[in-house]
Amino acid sequence: MLEDKNQAKTPLSELGEFGLIEHITKHTKLSHESTIKGVGDDSAVLGSSEKQTLITTDLMVEGIHFDLSYMPLKHLGYKSVMVNLSDLYAMNGKAEQITVSLAVSNRFTLEAIEELYAGIRLACETYKIDLIGGDTSSSAKGILISITAIGKVSEEDVVYRNGAKETDLIVVSGDLGAAYLGLQVLEREKQVFKVNPKNQPDLDNYTYLIERQLKPEARKDIRSLLKELNVKPTAMIDISDGLSSEIMHICSKSNVGCKIYEDKIPLDPQVISTCEEFDLDSTMVALSGGEDYELLFTVPVADFEKIKGNPHLSVIGHITEKLAGLNLVTRAGQELELKAQGWNSLAND
């Protein structure tokens, strides 16, 4: 689980709950004026504000959301923060604070928890987030991380899922499908390792895919990019369950239909080559893969000139009337109904 097998192994029971909290939080630095009181009282205290407060929360469960045989704990900590920040950026907001609750079985040592927190802290430093509270507990089995993220947004800037209008363009940041393929590569290596533990995997062809799976970055930059471009999305969501599932959320909340063009879906070259190798359809992977943590949003068609050719953004389709339904236009020009095949964490057990 840890890279250096000779490291100290301190049982958590040696510290107790308060000892562990103190140990974890003693180096916590706060970087937001709005964080008046962080860890160390019954609750955290945030300053009064003329802006609106955003609150989001996500669970990460061992064996359901991650497999520690190929997910290093530091990456797990980092990713569990990203998953939450992504939701705040999808509201066009700024992320400012998080609370972290942890349930761990007695197979985890203090050093393991420190690794996890090293990743959480790295995410906090990189994204300027204050860690302001949390809870720690034993679990009957495995590790579970529950993070709540708090952000700010002004009333004029907030973007919901329900504002998409007919003729609006559908835009996606970055590229899609890589995180899912990264998981497939790691799963395959795990099986190879089981059969032959001495086999040295050559992962050079999959570096981007594996990084997208193990160390995703939330799109903090899109908010400022859109401000610079003077574009305000009419609806926005982050892509955690796959493009298909997310566009359905926007269409259902906005009471509209959509048309997505297969040939416009942005794919990294490693996605295309690995799909060929694994005999997977790259469009299906982008539509249903999930865990991309890119942003999907709609903008008025009049804004096309402002975003056209921007290297961070791809226009992949447009909003239609509700009755037209949700459709994918294939490379061959055929129209197929979009189906949600997003990753369902409740069906996974």
Please report, as residue ranges, which positions from 228 to 257 form the binding site for a second copy (by CB under 8 A).
236-238, 253
Kindly state the smallest distance separating residue 109's Cβ from a second copy, in Å: 12
With CB under 8 A as the contact rule, the residue among 28, 139, 273, 310 that binds a second copy is 139
CA atoms within 13 A on the CB side of 343: 18
Cα(85)–Cα(79) distance, rounded to whole angstroms? Answer: 10
Q: Is 201 in the site for a second copy (CB under 8 A)?
A: no
With CB under 8 A as the contact rule, the residue among 62, 168, 175, 291 that binds a second copy is 62
Candidates 66-74, 126-134, 177-185, 326-334 — which segment interacts with a second copy by CB under 8 A? 126-134
Residues linked to residue 259 through DSSP beta bridges, in sequence order:
318, 327
Kindly state the smallest distance separating residue 166's Cβ from a second copy, in Å: 21
Residues linked to residue 266 through DSSP beta bridges, in sequence order:
none
For 262, list phi and psi in degrees, rounded to 5. Answer: -50, -45
Kindly state the smallest distance separating residue 274's Cβ from a second copy, in Å: 27
Nearest CA among 325, 151, 311 for reference residue 238: 151
Cα(288)–Cα(243) distance, rounded to whole angstroms? Answer: 6
Q: Is 273 in the site for a second copy (CB under 8 A)?
A: no
- What is the footprint of a second copy within residues 320-339 (CB under 8 A)? none
In the 8-state DSSP scheme, what is residue 309? Answer: T
Cα(158)–Cα(19) distance, rounded to whole angstroms? Answer: 40
Element (H, E) at 54: strand 52-61
Strand 326-329 versus strand 257-261 pairing type: parallel
Say if residues 214 and 233 touch (Cβ distance below 8 Å). Answer: no
Say if residues 277 and 132 touch (Cβ distance below 8 Å). Answer: no
Which CB, 152 or 210, lies closer to a second copy?
152
With CB under 8 A as the contact rule, the residue among 61, 68, 122, 267 that binds a second copy is 61
- What is the footprint of a second copy within residues 63-92 (CB under 8 A)? 63-65, 86-88, 90-91
Say if residues 273 and 133 touch (Cβ distance below 8 Å). Answer: no
Candidates 159-167, 210-218, 224-232, 323-331 — which segment interacts with a second copy by CB under 8 A? 159-167
Which positions from 13 to 52 touch a second copy by CB under 8 A, shown as an x/- string? x-xxx--x---------------xx--xxxxxxxxxxxxx
Kindly state the smallest distance separating residue 199's Cβ from a second copy, in Å: 28
Which CB, 2 or 61, lies closer to a second copy?
61
Which two three-digit tokens encode residue 174? 């970055």
Q: Is 167 in the site for a second copy (CB under 8 A)?
A: no
SS3 (DSSP) at 234: coil
Kindly state the smallest distance separating residue 16's Cβ from a second copy, in Å: 5
For 336, list phi and psi in degrees, rounded to 5. Answer: -115, 145
With CB under 8 A as the contact rule, the residue among 94, 121, 161, 220 that binds a second copy is 161
With CB under 8 A as the contact rule, the residue among 129, 149, 169, 186 that binds a second copy is 149
How many residues in total does the chain contain? 349
- What is the footprint of a second copy within residues 277-296 (CB under 8 A)? none
Candidates 142-150, 184-192, 203-211, 302-310 — which segment interacts with a second copy by CB under 8 A? 142-150
Say if residues 342 and 245 touch (Cβ distance below 8 Å). Answer: yes
Gyration radius (Cα) of the chain, Å: 21
Q: Is 346 in the site for a second copy (CB under 8 A)?
A: yes
Which CB, 159 or 210, lies closer to a second copy?
159
